[in-house]
Amino acid sequence: EGISDNLTLAVCFQVDSLTQQKINAPTFKVESNLMRELSFVSHHSVHHMAMIKLIASKLSIQLPVEFGLAPST
């Protein structure tokens, strides 16, 4: 049986404590679901891979063409 798309999560966001003290930023909550969070992590990791590829190219390190490319690219 697959993971339900409707598995609701309460996600809390809070800035780090030093920034919290400087700007008095509140903690806030939003609703999300497991599939949305997994999708975000997956797509965000591609962003990091693209940055790694850029740095590697500056160091003359060759990575595969598809490394760091989003599926929609």
Helix (H) or strand (E) holding 12: strand 8-13
Strands 8-13 vs 28-33: parallel, antiparallel or unpaired: antiparallel
Identify whether the C-beta of residue 43 lies closer than 8 Å to the C-beta of residue 70: yes
Q: What is the mean pLDDT of residues 64-72?
A: 89
Flag whether pLDDT at 12 surpasses 50: yes
Q: Which of 33-37, 49-53, 60-64 has the lowest mean pLDDT?
A: 33-37
- 42 or 33, higher pLDDT: 42
Q: Write down the pTM of the prediction.
A: 0.60
d(CA 57, CA 20): 37
The reported pLDDT for the residue numbered 58 is: 97
**Lookup result for tokens 């030093």:** 18
Average pLDDT in the 30-41 region?
A: 81
